[in-house]
Amino acid sequence: ALELRTSKEKLSAVLKEKQEKMMASGSSKVMLAFREKLPAYKTKAEFLKAVAINQVVVVSGETGCGKTTQLPQFILEEEIACLRAADCNIICTQPRRISAISVSARIAAERGESIGETVGYQIRLEAKRSAQTRLLFCTTGVLLRQLVQDPNLTGVSHLLVDEIHERGMNEDFLLIILRDLLPRRRDLRLVLMSATINADMFSKYFGNAPTIHIPGFTFPVEEFFLEDVLEKTHYPIVSEFERRQSEQNKDPLTALFEEVDINSHYKKYSKSTRQSLEAWSTTKLDLGLVEAGLEYICRHEIDGAILIFLTGWDDITKLLDKIKGNCLLGNSSKFRVLPLHGSMPTINQREIFERPPSNMRKIVLATNIAESSITIDDVVYVIDCGKAKETSYDALNKLACLLPSWISKASAHQRRGRAGRVQPGVCYRLYPKLVYDAMPQYQLPEILRTPLQELCLQIKSLQLGTVASFLAKALQPPDPLSVQNAIELLKTIGALDDVEELTPLGRHLCTLPVDPNIGKMLLIGSIFQCLDPALTIASALAHRDPFVLPINRKEEADAAKRSFAGDCCSDHIALLKAFESWKDAKRNGRDRAFCWENFLSPVTLQMMDDMRNQFLDLLTNIGFVDKTKSRKEYNHYSDDLEMVSAMLCAGLYPNVVQCKRRGKRTALYTKEVGKVDIHPASVNAVVHLFPLPYMVYSEKVKTTSIYIRDSTNISDYALLLFGGSLLPSKTGEGIEMLGGYLHFSSSKSVLDLIKKLRSELDKLLQR
Ligand code: ADP
Ligand code: MG
């Protein structure tokens, strides 16, 4: 024991000496001067004292005040300086991968070390850390998985949970676990960091934990709403025919706007502006308007970086194209245009933060990731489209949707604040003041608007008891019906048994960080030797569809997509074939032209390719794929499209619709909502009569009507063999599925055979 103590003391001494040497170096003095200017620096002593005497501390402060980069660092420096480094193990969670990397790199730089020494990061399938690492940034998901192995977080001395104001599902989930853990780990220190002043709720949740507020300093930011932007830019909004067909339900804010008498409300504006405002209320996000605003700033406003908030990859890539074709903005010697998106694989970190040469203007096209988790200092102009992609969940109809929707006032405030970091700034809002006034104060927490099946699996794998009683302890508990739906689904796909315990299949699905249905598809693909199609389709379902929808050439794009599907009646097979053809084109060096001709997004295809490799690694880790074997062994049936359809059925069940002939057309019915339609973007939208009696689909969305997106026509055999559990039918002749919704009548011998085959299949999955 004595030896252990002395070796620990030695280690602590070594680290202290190293830190002191670093601090004394010239470059670190420059950094220190920068750090001392951050508002967080002034609360250093108060913060360290609070952490020393309280188990939980809540810290709030405006974005950019130095929470993420400074607070963990204060603890680290203090622990090293007090010769406690050997026993110190600080973890700071981030909701997104990209910020875990960027922040750890920043702190390492501030300390004059390379990343992976005292400061490191770990994200899914990627890490930079060493035995020396004392401060680790990881995604919340990584910490949750660590909790499976080690429910007490043994050895962790300090845990900082960042960005809790976002109310992400993982963070809300983690907070429940931590509240239960704290009494068992009296020595563990917990710091919660929030970008909004509204920290009281968190403090209450943790038994009135003390809160510290870091007063921020920002320059004033002038604010313009759409009406002013229109006056400045003279941009005429025309609601295109295309847009009127908008699939989206009219959201309440737009509806509100339509009721307003524009003329009386906007008297002081010109007639053309009032007309544009009126047209605006029926349009989706108008990228032409964004471009016009951008061009206006570049022509009329003095230097300074511009940050544009868009809703997602789609808008970002489309706007990038527009900028490229713009005669002013397309000049790459004058403008440095950079995309910033959470799922970018490896972004060029430095360029985003660097100041460009003096004759150049930086333009960043970002999603809401730039709202609070990444701070770009030199931003002077913000263009805010007012929307963000948000998932929502309709528990009654079991519908999930991911659609752009209006942000909250809190988000709008955040976005504006990004412009005033180094000097007074300007924020251009591309929506009227009226819409701003009607925005909700805060966004609904994610746990209340997402399907809960992945979360339920996690609760089970962490052995946290029954799902319902566990989730009842959340900051804002989800609707019991959503919980019940999730459990039911997990039982249906065979991940949970009757008493809500994980089956072996459920255990495998826990290790795959994707939706359980997609996970099951991957497992089936590897067992039934159609691995490559499973990887491809799963990557598109987990990420996004590679088909792009050009505004003016929709028909050509639809035709291109249909030609990939051939006569298969399957969107999934269309995307599979598109991906395979892209791979071929890439080998011949003509992938760019190929994408252009076929309306495919090269960025998405590349991302899918990366994801396929990640999935393959995961399948290897859990023993479903042996990488030493030839890839062929897993792909005997990859060209057999009936087999691929059957695999899709196994993965997508219970997303099944019945195709019933009604005259010259097929009508589609689901168990939950009755009649549904095929999404207009599907290759199946133009098919009148389907050859096979059933259809599986990836997603059901409710907009103007209820649509199924991405569907595949399948045979009854596929359903009988690969669909969910069978029940003997009430009449005794035949079998039933989907709780009796589907009925198959057949001779006893055929039924017995099917049952035998299915029990073999179950054995394979439940091994
Ligand atoms: P908060 O977490 O409170 O939003 P951060 O700690 O992330 O603030 O950032 C504090 C400041 O550090 C930022 O305003 C910015 O000036 C600087 N900073 C953060 N990350 C980087 C980086 N990767 N490169 C350069 N500067 C950075
Ligand atoms: Mg932060």
Residues flanking ligand 1, CB < 6 Å = 38, 61, 63-70, 102, 106, 353, 375, 377
pLDDT (mean) for 238-245: 54
pLDDT (mean) for 459-484: 94
CB atoms within 10 A of CB 331: 11
In this prediction, residue 83 has a pLDDT band, given cuts at 50, 70 and 90, of very high
Residue 497 Cα, ligand 2 centroid: separation in angstroms? 41
How far, in whole angstroms, is CA 5 from its chain's centroid? 45
pLDDT, position 540: 92
More confidently predicted of 587 and 703: 587
Of all protein residues, whose CA lies closest to atom 23 belonging to ligand 1?
Answer: 106
pLDDT, position 239: 64
Instruction: Say if residues 266 and 277 touch (Cβ distance below 8 Å).
Output: yes
Closest by Cα among 157, 165, 158 to 202: 165
Residue 245 pLDDT > 60, yes or no?
Answer: no
Residue 63 Cα, ligand 2 centroid: separation in angstroms? 6
CB atoms within 10 A of CB 110: 20
Query: Which whole-number Å values give the CA distances from 306 to 122, 235, 418, 592, in the listed order?
Result: 31, 19, 10, 29
What's the CA gap between 172 and 123, in Å, rounded? 19
What's the CA gap between 169 and 175, in Å, rounded? 10
Q: Ramachandran region of residue 90, left (φ > 0), alpha (ψ -120 to 50) or beta? A: beta
pLDDT (mean) for 34-62: 96
Residue 288 pLDDT > 70, yes or no?
Answer: yes
pLDDT, position 199: 85
pLDDT, position 701: 80
In this prediction, residue 344 has a pLDDT band, given cuts at 50, 70 and 90, of low
Torsion angle of alpha carbons 762, 764, 766, 767, nearest 10°? 150
Highest-scoring range by mean pLDDT, 353-362, 530-539, 614-623: 530-539
Burial of 157 (0-12, 13-18, 19+ CB in 10 A): middle
What's the CA gap between 389 and 345, in Å, rounded? 19
- Using only C-alpha atoms, what is the Rg of the chain? 28
pLDDT (mean) for 234-243: 68
pLDDT (mean) for 345-368: 82
Q: Residue 380 in 3-state DSSP?
A: strand
Of all protein residues, whose CA lies closest to atom 12 belonging to ligand 1?
Answer: 66
What's the CA gap between 735 and 740, in Å, rounded? 8
In this prediction, residue 26 has a pLDDT band, given cuts at 50, 70 and 90, of confident
Q: Residue 79 in 3-state DSSP?
A: helix
What's the CA gap between 641 and 569, in Å, rounded? 11
Highest-scoring range by mean pLDDT, 70-74, 371-375, 695-699: 70-74
CB-based burial, 670-701: b 16+ in 10 Å, e otherwise: bbebeebebbebbbbeebeebebbbbbbbbbb
Give the model confidence (pLDDT) of 618-634 as tens digits: 899 889 999 899 989 99
Q: Give the nearest ligand 1 atom to 105 CA.
A: 23
The helix (H) or strand (E) run that includes residue 401 is strand 399-406
Instruction: Say if residues 405 and 387 touch (Cβ distance below 8 Å).
Output: yes
Report residue 495 as tokens.
Answer: 């991940």
Q: Residue 306 in 3-state DSSP?
A: strand
CB atoms within 10 A of CB 502: 18
Closest by Cα among 492, 524, 512, 466 to 398: 492
In this prediction, residue 241 has a pLDDT band, given cuts at 50, 70 and 90, of very low
pLDDT (mean) for 438-445: 90
Report residue 707 as tokens.
Answer: 């649509």
Angle, CA of 168, 174 and 176, to the nearest 5°: 110
pLDDT, position 242: 45
Closest by Cα among 588, 591, 600, 610 to 543: 610
pTM for the structure as a whole: 0.83
Ligand 2 ion: Cβ-proximal residues, 5 Å cutoff: 67-68
Instruction: Say if residues 730 and 646 touch (Cβ distance below 8 Å).
Output: no
pLDDT (mean) for 644-653: 95
Of all protein residues, whose CA lies closest to atom 27 belonging to ligand 1?
Answer: 106
In this prediction, residue 315 has a pLDDT band, given cuts at 50, 70 and 90, of confident
Question: Which residues have CB under 8 Å from 668's CB, separation 6+?
Answer: 657, 658, 659, 660, 675, 676, 677, 678, 695, 708
- Helix 97-110 and helix 67-81: axis angle, to 10°? 50
Give the model confidence (pLDDT) of 98-147 as tens digits: 899 999 999 999 999 999 999 999 997 789 999 999 999 999 999 998 99
pLDDT, position 64: 86
Give the model confidence (pLDDT) of 475-529 as tens digits: 999 999 999 999 999 999 999 999 999 999 999 999 888 889 999 999 999 999 9
Q: What residues pair up with 728 in beta bridges, in sequence order?
A: 735
In this prediction, residue 677 has a pLDDT band, given cuts at 50, 70 and 90, of very high
Q: Which of 93, 104, 106 maximizes ligand 1 atoms within 8 Å of its Cβ, making it the mutation to test the pocket? A: 106
Q: Give the nearest ligand 1 atom to 63 CA.
A: 4
More confidently predicted of 502 and 761: 502
Residue 376 Cα, ligand 1 centroid: separation in angstroms? 8
Residue 506 Cα, ligand 2 centroid: separation in angstroms? 35
Of all protein residues, whose CA lies closest to atom 18 belonging to ligand 1?
Answer: 375
**H helix runs in 622-673, sequence order:** 641-652
In this prediction, residue 343 has a pLDDT band, given cuts at 50, 70 and 90, of low
Residue 192 pLDDT > 60, yes or no?
Answer: yes
Write down the mean pLDDT value for the chain: 89
Residue 402 pLDDT > 70, yes or no?
Answer: no
Q: Ramachandran region of residue 89, left (φ > 0), alpha (ψ -120 to 50) or beta? A: beta
Report residue 577 as tokens.
Answer: 């074939």
pLDDT (mean) for 332-336: 93
Closest by Cα among 506, 684, 520, 706 to 615: 520
Sequential DSSP letters for 8-69:
HHHHHHHHHHHHHHHHHSHHHHHHHHHHHHSHHHHTHHHHHHHHHH-SEEEEEE-TTSSHHH
CB-based burial, 569-581: b 16+ in 10 Å, e otherwise: bbbbbbbbbbbbe
Residue 241 Cα, ligand 1 centroid: separation in angstroms? 44
Q: Which ligand lies nearest to the CA atom of residue 353 in the structure?
A: 1
Q: What residues pair up with 169 in beta bridges, in sequence order?
A: none
Q: Is the dihedral of CA 674, 679, 682, 687 positive or negative?
A: positive
pLDDT, position 247: 46
Residue 574 Cα, ligand 1 centroid: separation in angstroms? 44
Three-state helix/strand/coil letters over 194-239: ECCCCCHHHHHHCCCCCEEEECCCCCCEEEECHHHHHHHHCCCCCC
Lowest-pLDDT range, 184-193, 376-385, 755-764? 755-764
pLDDT, position 180: 96
Residue 99 Cα, ligand 2 centroid: separation in angstroms? 9
- Bond from prior residue into 654 cis (ω within 30 degrees of 0): yes
Question: Which residues have CB under 8 Å from 64's CB, separation 6+?
Answer: 216, 218, 375, 377, 417, 418, 421
Residue 280 pLDDT > 80, yes or no?
Answer: yes
